[in-house]
A = this chain, B = another copy of it.
Amino acid sequence: MTADSTAQPSRQVHVDVPALTELLDGQHGAVREQVRTNLVKHADVLVDAETMDRDAFRDRVKDVVLAMAETGATGLGIPEAYGGGGNIGASIAAFETLALGDLSVLTKVGVQFGLFGGAILQLGTKPHHDRWLADLTAGRVMGCFAMTETGHGSNVADIETVARFDVETDEFVITTPHDSARKEYIGNAARHGELAVVFAQLEVSGEQHGVHAIVVPIRVDGEPAPGVRIADSGHKLGLNGVDNGRLWFDDVRVPRENLLNRFASVSSDGVYSSEIESQGRRFFTMLGTLIQGRVSVGGAAINASKVALTVAVKYADRRRQFESGEEGTEQLLLDYGMHQRRLLPLLAKTYALHFAQEVVADQLHEVFSHTSGSADDKAVRLLESRAAGTKAIGTWHATRTIQECREACGGAGYMSANRFAALKADTDVFTTFEGDNHVLYQLVAKGLLTDYSSGFSDMDQFGMVRFVAGVAVETVLEKAAVHKLLERIKDVLPGGNEDEWDQEAGLLDPNYQVAMLRFREDHMLGGVAKRIKGGVDRGGNPGEVFSNVQDHVIATARAHVERLVLEAFVSKLETMPEGDNKVALNLMCDLFALSVIEGDRAWFMEHGRLTVQRSKAITAEVNALCRKVRPIAVDLVDAFGVPVEMLRAEELIG
């Protein structure tokens, strides 16, 4: 540790909490404040979630959503011409902030304005916008996003609902061919939805054109529309304020105009046309426009983690347990080394993810604000990958953090009044919806392995295996820049001598930390590519080859995403003025980076990038960082700006 460029001073750090909140809130601070105000106004909904029966609570959640819609805070992503805010970045900020409150409200907002509204906006054209956007933005029409089927969750390209064009009547005929093709878990379907954007295999003049989206009325005057069968998905682990349901279509007819035709049209004489030739690419282009859902869920998960950490850290700073060893008083929980270990690296990761999410939300805003639809293709693919990865890491982080915080509050944490019950139950499905996390990490890895080739997101894992096997490994490696690694390392490290980097670089040097994560990512990526190619060359079938390397694939994606997260945090720090807040965030960044390296130190030792001594030094440094963070931990959670009414933890934290 000879080059600690960001060495921490031993004097006490004084966090300027309001300034740090302002930094975290970012450019959409006013929007976040408006949402906080809305949340406080409707804080009772947190209690209603426990006490009301399911139908009453669903109606209550709908009312809250409509009340919030009136303030304009839910439709920020819809164009101003239709009563929205016309600002995608603001829309993400609002959604993230909503996650500080009841998550059924959040999810219903996501279904109505993000999924349903987003589909109409992104997949439809002006007639659809004129017909529905103003009504849905005001909440006058509630709608569904009907993609998932019982038989096909993650593999949405193979859903089986059929939309056949009937040239005689100029209508589409929507059919559920068998029971496992029913639409499943569809939000707004069981009780409130009147319309659904239904994804179905389009059939025109006997030809199949793949999955397309069509607007189908599912309820008229509160009753199922003719030919539509609706059932309740039933009680769920959480989010019981959202009316998830099942839908079956029995030759339901809708006018041709109901096809959302931004990417493909059918003429009245039964001619199909699209600018995108490949069925698969067309569908994944459609899916790509819905990236916003993933960005939203990732941000929501990160903010839910903030709520849990706020309660747990403040509790640990008040609660005493067992004699302190000195004066006969009991010791504060947060003074115990193990308790610091349990909570503070999670706090650091929450900060890191916050800034990584900020980057992805900014990119989303950037790419989707090209209203002409002319956003650079590769930028879209990179964003798609980044959104997938951030969603996966953020939602897994939420599951783990909320669990640890619950346990760290003991029996009190088990009482519903103290917030963890709802946080745990409601966020649990975040790892699954808007894309199962393992599937999303595979998407990330596919991007890396194919250098974001134009068709990568359209490929299934076996297509990816064939792709990688079909090019020279050197090409993959070269494209993925694996071999450039050592040169890069020489550039970033003090002394510039690759052989000594492990000895020379300081643990708290961000260049060292990033280089370590870079090395891991690139090494893993090269390894996966070689194993895939080798497996196929040895005659393995793609299924077997993929099965054998799948854990390696997932690990590669995780390594990539963690590197992006660290880089986002480091970049943010570079923009900050000197001062105690920067010192505090430097501690968070170091704790995050070294926790990641520590967590995978076996890998680094196995690959020659950590000596035994240095590995032990990293563990010691993580402990030391925890002790340094301890005195400012409460300030760091206060800076999240979670309204006290959202904590519901009077007994825990006073």
CB distance from A488 to the nearest CB of B (A): 24
One of B330, B605, B616, B623 near A551 (C-beta < 8 A): B623
C-alpha gap A184/B50 in the complex (Å): 20
Complex contact A411–B335 (CB within 8 A): no
Answer whether residue A208 sits at the interface, using C-beta atoms and an 8 A cutoff: no
Complex contact A321–B432 (CB within 8 A): no
Complex contact B605–A612 (CB within 8 A): yes
C-alpha gap A413/B185 in the complex (Å): 12
CB distance from A404 to the nearest CB of B (A): 10
Please encode chain A, from 397 to 430, with 1 for each CB lying within 8 Å of some chain B CB and 0 for all others.
0010001001100111111110011001100110
Complex contact B414–A543 (CB within 8 A): no
Answer whether residue A379 sits at the interface, using C-beta atoms and an 8 A cutoff: no
Complex contact A416–B543 (CB within 8 A): no
Complex contact A417–B235 (CB within 8 A): yes
One of B184, B336, B554 near A338 (C-beta < 8 A): B554
Residue total for A at the interface (Cβ-Cβ under 8 A): 80
Answer whether residue A546 sits at the interface, using C-beta atoms and an 8 A cutoff: yes
> What residues on B are CB-neighbors of A53 within 8 Å?
53
Please encode chain A, from 368 to 392, with 1 for each CB lying within 8 Å of some chain B CB and 0 for all others.
0000000000000000000000000
Please encode chain A, from 325 to 342, with 1 for each CB lying within 8 Å of some chain B CB and 0 for all others.
110001100011110010
Complex contact A336–B550 (CB within 8 A): yes
C-alpha gap A553/B411 in the complex (Å): 23
Answer whether residue A549 sits at the interface, using C-beta atoms and an 8 A cutoff: yes
CB distance from A561 to the nearest CB of B (A): 16
One of B154, B322, B325 near A154 (C-beta < 8 A): B322
Complex contact A233–B415 (CB within 8 A): yes
Answer whether residue A602 sits at the interface, using C-beta atoms and an 8 A cutoff: yes
Q: How many copies of this kind of chain does the complex include? A: 2
Please encode chain A, from 304 to 344, with 1 for each CB lying within 8 Å of some chain B CB and 0 for all others.
00000000000000000111111000110001111001000
> What residues on B are CB-neighbors of A615 within 8 Å?
602, 605-606
Answer whether residue A132 sits at the interface, using C-beta atoms and an 8 A cutoff: no
CB distance from A16 to the nearest CB of B (A): 28
> What residues on B are CB-neighbors of A341 within 8 Å?
550-551
Given known pairs A155-B321, A424-B237, the reply for A403 and B399 (CB within 8 Å) is yes
Answer whether residue A601 sits at the interface, using C-beta atoms and an 8 A cutoff: yes
Answer whether residue A82 sits at the interface, using C-beta atoms and an 8 A cutoff: no
Instruction: With CB as the reference atom, state the residue of chain B lying closest to A549.
Output: B337
Given known pairs A601-B602, A615-B602, the reply for A415 and B236 (CB within 8 Å) is yes
CB distance from A132 to the nearest CB of B (A): 27
Binds B, one of A347-355, A457-465, A564-572: A457-465
Complex contact A154–B416 (CB within 8 A): no
Answer whether residue A234 sits at the interface, using C-beta atoms and an 8 A cutoff: yes
Closest 5 CB pairs of A and B: A325-B543, A237-B421, A325-B542, A325-B462, A602-B602
B-contacting residues of A (Cβ < 8 Å)? 50-51, 53, 148, 150, 153-155, 158, 184-185, 233-238, 321-326, 330-331, 335-338, 341, 399, 403, 406-407, 410-417, 420-421, 424-425, 428-429, 431-433, 436-438, 460-462, 465, 541-544, 546-551, 553-554, 601-602, 605-606, 608, 612, 615-616, 623, 651
A-B contact pairs, 16 of them (CB 8 A): A50-B235, A51-B235, A153-B321, A154-B410, A237-B425, A325-B546, A335-B543, A337-B548, A338-B554, A341-B551, A411-B432, A424-B425, A424-B428, A602-B605, A605-B605, A608-B612
